[in-house]
Structure 1
Amino acid sequence: MSSALDEDTRETLDAGRETAGAMLRAAQKDLQKVFIFFLVGFLGTFYALRLYIWDFLKRITRAQMSAQVDGEVSIIAQTPFDVILLQAKIGLVVGVVLALPAFIYFSRDALKERGLWPSSPVPVWQLALILLAMATLFVLGVAYGYFVFFPFTFAFLAQNAIAAGFSPTYSIVKWAQFIFLLTASFGLASQLPLVMTGLSYAEIVPYETFRDKWRHAVVGVFAVGAMFTPPDPFTQIMWAIPVLALYGVSLYLAKVVTTARRGSEKMDVKASVRAHWNAIAGVGVLGGALVYAFFEYGGVGYVNDALAMIGSDYVVYAPSSLAVLGGYALLAALAGAVVAVGYFVYYDLDDLAIVEAGVGDPSAIDLADLDAAGVRAAPPEVFESMSEDEVMAAAGDALDAGEKEKARTIVDRFDAVDAAAGDGEDTEGGSEDAAESDASGSGSQSAAGGRSATGSIGDRATRAGNAFFDAFRGDSDASPAADDGTGGDDADGTVAIADEEDDIGGYYTDLQFILESVTSNAFRLVGVFMLVLAGTFGWLYTGGIKRVYEDFLSRLPAQVTPDEVLNVVALHPMEALVFEVKFSTIVAAIVTAPLLAYYAWPALRERDIVRHRRRAVFVWTGTLAVGLLGGFVLGYTTIAPTVISWLVNDAVLANMVIAYRITNFFWLIFFTTAGIGLLADVPILMILLNSTGVGYRTMRGRWREVTVGVLAFAAVFTPADVLTMFLVTIPLMVAYGIGLGVLFVLTLGGRRDLSPARGADV
Structure 2
Amino acid sequence: MTDTGGFVRGAYDILDAARENLVTVLVSFLLGLVSTVLFLRLYLFDKIQEQTLARAAAQGYDVETSFVNPFEVILLQAKIGVIAGVLVVVPVAVYLARGSLKRRGVWFPSSSRPRVAGFLIGVAGLFAVGVAYAYVVMIPYIMRFVAAIAVRAGVRPFFRISSFIDFVLVYSVIFGVAAQLPLLMVFTVRSGVVSYSFYRDKWRHFVLVAAVISALVTSPDPMTQVVVLGPLVAVYFLGLGAVRVFASENLDEETAIAVDETAEADQDQGGRPSNATAEGAKAATRSAAEAGVDAVMDRGAIDVAGAVFKDMRSHSKKLGGVFLVVASVSFYWLIYHGVDAIRRQTVSQMPPELASQVETVQLEIFEFVFLVVKYSALAGAVATVPFVVYYSRETLISENVIGGDGSPLYYVSRAAVVVSLFLAGAAYAYYGTIPVLVSVLSNSIVESGMEATFTVGEFIDFVFIVTVLVGVMAEMPAAMYFLISSKLVRYETLKSKWKHFTVVVFVVGALVTSPDPFTMIVVATPLSGFYLVSLVVTRVLCHGTIKKVRDERSQLGLAGESN
Range class of TM-score, shorter chain: 0.7 to 0.9
Q: CA deviation at 1:251?
A: 1.0
How far apart in 1 are the matches of 2:275 and 2:523?
Answer: 46
2:55 to 49, 52, 64: 64
Decide whether the 8 Å contact of 2:10 with 2:101 is kept in 1: yes
Q: CA deviation at 1:173?
A: 1.9
Question: In the alignment, is residue 499 of structure 1 matched against residue 325 of structure 2?
Answer: no
**Residue 123 to residue 495, structure 1, CA distance change in 2 (3 Å):** closer
2:327 to 533, 537, 546: 533
Matches within 5 A, 1:288-687: 496-501=293-298, 507-554=301-348, 556-558=349-351, 561-565=354-358, 567-611=359-403, 618=412, 622-681=416-475
Instruction: Write the letter of the residue equivalent to 2:37.
Output: F
**Residue 36 to residue 83, structure 1, CA distance change in 2 (3 Å):** same
Could you say what secondary structure the match of 2:561 adopts? coil
Q: Deviations over 1:648-683 (max 9, x none)?
A: 221222222222211122222222223321444555
Question: In the alignment, is residue 152 of structure 1 matched against residue 141 of structure 2?
Answer: yes
Q: CA deviation at 1:96?
A: 2.8
Matched residue, 2:73: 83
Could you say what secondary structure the match of 1:168 adopts? strand
Matched residue, 2:5: none
Q: CA deviation at 1:590?
A: 1.8
Question: In the alignment, is residue 39 of structure 1 matched against residue 44 of structure 2?
Answer: no
TM-score (norm 2): 0.81
How far apart in 2 are the matches of 1:734 and 1:189?
Answer: 52
Question: Which structure 1 segments of 5+ residues have no match?
Answer: 1-16, 265-352, 366-379, 391-455, 465-483
Decide whether the 8 Å contact of 1:200 with 1:207 is kept in 2: yes
Decide whether the 8 Å contact of 1:118 with 1:204 is kept in 2: no
**Residue 493 to residue 145, structure 1, CA distance change in 2 (3 Å):** closer
Decide whether the 8 Å contact of 1:181 with 1:228 is kept in 2: yes
Higher RCO (Cα < 8 Å, 6 or more apart): 2
Q: Deviations over 1:88-119 (max 9, x none)?
A: 12212222333345557767999999x99699
Matched residue, 1:393: none
How far apart in 2 are the matches of 1:620 and 1:91?
Answer: 65
Decide whether the 8 Å contact of 1:232 with 1:720 is kept in 2: no
- Percent identical among aligned pairs is 29
How far apart in 2 are the matches of 1:704 and 1:683?
Answer: 17
Decide whether the 8 Å contact of 1:193 with 1:250 is kept in 2: yes
Q: CA deviation at 1:183?
A: 2.0
How far apart in 1 are the matches of 2:54 and 2:213?
Answer: 30
Q: CA deviation at 1:142?
A: 0.9
**Residue 705 to residue 33, structure 1, CA distance change in 2 (3 Å):** farther
Q: Deviations over 1:15-36 (max 9, x none)?
A: xx99999975675323443333
Matched residue, 1:478: none
Give the RMSD, CA atoms, in angstroms.
4.5
1:189 to 168, 173, 178: 178
Instruction: Write the letter of the residue equivalent to 1:589.
Output: A
TM-score (norm 1): 0.61
Question: In the alignment, is residue 53 of structure 1 matched against residue 36 of structure 2?
Answer: no
Matched residue, 1:724: 519
Q: Deviations over 1:612-662 (max 9, x none)?
A: 599588567535522331121110122111111110221222222222211
How far apart in 1 are the matches of 2:242 and 2:231?
Answer: 17
Instruction: Write the letter of the residue equivalent to 1:713.
Output: V
How far apart in 1 are the matches of 2:497 and 2:111?
Answer: 62
Instruction: Write the letter of the residue equivalent to 1:608.
Output: N
Q: Deviations over 1:402-451 (max 9, x none)?
A: xxxxxxxxxxxxxxxxxxxxxxxxxxxxxxxxxxxxxxxxxxxxxxxxxx
Instruction: Write the letter of the residue equivalent to 2:356.
Output: D
Matched residue, 1:445: none
Decide whether the 8 Å contact of 1:197 with 1:257 is kept in 2: yes
How far apart in 2 are the matches of 1:743 and 1:112?
Answer: 82
Matched residue, 2:224: 235
Q: CA deviation at 1:549?
A: 2.6
Question: In the alignment, is residue 207 of structure 1 matched against residue 2 of structure 2?
Answer: no
Q: CA deviation at 1:529?
A: 1.0
**Residue 129 to residue 362, structure 1, CA distance change in 2 (3 Å):** same
Could you say what secondary structure the match of 1:204 adopts? coil
**Residue 687 to residue 87, structure 1, CA distance change in 2 (3 Å):** farther
Q: CA deviation at 1:538?
A: 0.9
Instruction: Write the letter of the residue equivalent to 1:563.
Output: S
Decide whether the 8 Å contact of 1:357 with 1:364 is kept in 2: no
**Residue 157 to residue 206, structure 1, CA distance change in 2 (3 Å):** same
Matches within 5 A, 1:255-266: 255-261=244-250
**Residue 559 to residue 142, structure 1, CA distance change in 2 (3 Å):** closer
How far apart in 2 are the matches of 1:735 and 1:162?
Answer: 39
**Residue 34 to residue 75, structure 1, CA distance change in 2 (3 Å):** same
Decide whether the 8 Å contact of 1:604 with 1:610 is kept in 2: yes
How far apart in 1 are the matches of 2:491 and 2:114?
Answer: 75
Question: In the alignment, is residue 164 of structure 1 matched against residue 157 of structure 2?
Answer: no
Question: Which structure 2 segments of 5+ residues have no match?
Answer: 1-7
How far apart in 2 are the matches of 1:688 and 1:108?
Answer: 80
